[in-house]
Structure 1
Amino acid sequence: EIFCFAYLDDIIIFSATPEEHDKHVTLVLEALEKAELHLKPSKCVWSVPEIEFLGFTAVAGKGIRMSDDKLQALREWKRPTNVREVRMFLGTINFCSKMMPHFADNAAPLNSLTKKGKVFEWNEECERSWSRMM
Structure 2
Amino acid sequence: MDTLSREIETYHCVLDLANAFFSIPIAKESQDQFAFTWEGRQWTFQVLPQGYVHSPTFCHNLVARDLANWNKPSTVKMFHYIDDLMLTSDSIEALEKTVPSLITYLQEKGWAINPQKVQGPGLSVKFLGVVWSGKTKVLPSAIIDKIQAFPVPTKPKQLQEFLGILGYWRSFIPHLAQLLKPLYRLTKKGQVWDWGRTEQEAFQQAKIAVKQAQALGIFDPTLPAELDVHVTQEGFGWGLWQRQSSVRIPIGFWSQIWHGAEERYSMVEKQLLATYSALQAVEPITQTAEVIVKTTLPIQGWVKDLTHIPKTGVAQSQTVA
Please give the TM-score of this superposition, normalised by the length of structure 1. Answer: 0.69
8 Å contact kept, 1:106–1:133: yes
In the aligned structure 2, how far is the partner of 1:104 from the partner of 1:70?
A: 19
Which 5+ residue runs of structure 1 have no aligned equivalent? 30-35
Instruction: Say which SS state the counterpart of residue 47 (structure 1) adopts.
Output: strand
In the aligned structure 1, how far is the partner of 2:143 from the partner of 2:205?
A: 17
Is the counterpart of residue 83 in structure 1 residue 183 in structure 2? no
* Aligned 1:95-134 pairs, distance under 5 A: 95-134=168-207
Q: Which residue of 2 aligns with 1:54?
A: 128
Q: Which residue of 2 aligns with 1:32?
A: none
Equivalent position amino acid for 2:187 in 1: T
Displacement of 1:78 after TM fit? 0.2
Task: Give every structure 1 segment of 4 or more consecutive aligned residues whose post-TM-superposition deviation is greater than 3 Å.
Answer: 1-7, 11-15, 38-47
Identity %: 23
Displacement of 1:52 after TM fit? 1.9
Alpha-carbon spacing, 1:95–1:13, altered in 2? closer, same or farther (3 Å) = farther
8 Å contact kept, 1:55–1:70: no
Larger helix fraction of residues: 1
In the aligned structure 1, how far is the partner of 2:132 from the partner of 2:118?
A: 16
* Aligned 1:6-85 pairs, distance under 5 A: 6-13=80-87, 17-18=90-91, 40=113, 42=115, 45=119, 47-61=121-135, 63-85=136-158
Instruction: Say which SS state the counterpart of residue 71 (structure 1) adopts.
Output: helix
Which 5+ residue runs of structure 2 have no aligned equivalent? 1-5, 9-77, 103-108, 208-321
Displacement of 1:40 after TM fit? 4.3
CA deviation string 1:25-53 (max 9, x = no partner): 8xxx8xxxxxx9x7849565453111122
Alpha-carbon spacing, 1:5–1:132, altered in 2? closer, same or farther (3 Å) = farther
Alpha-carbon spacing, 1:41–1:14, altered in 2? closer, same or farther (3 Å) = same
Alpha-carbon spacing, 1:97–1:18, altered in 2? closer, same or farther (3 Å) = same
Work out which structure has the larger RCO, using CA pairs closer than 8 Å and 6 or more positions apart in sequence: 2
CA deviation string 1:64-93 (max 9, x = no partner): 122222221111110111111111111122
Larger strand fraction of residues: 2
Which structure has the larger Rg over C-alpha atoms? 2
In the aligned structure 1, how far is the partner of 2:7 from the partner of 2:184?
A: 32
In the aligned structure 1, how far is the partner of 2:157 from the partner of 2:80?
A: 31
8 Å contact kept, 1:113–1:120: yes
Displacement of 1:107 after TM fit? 1.6
CA RMSD of aligned residues (A): 3.1
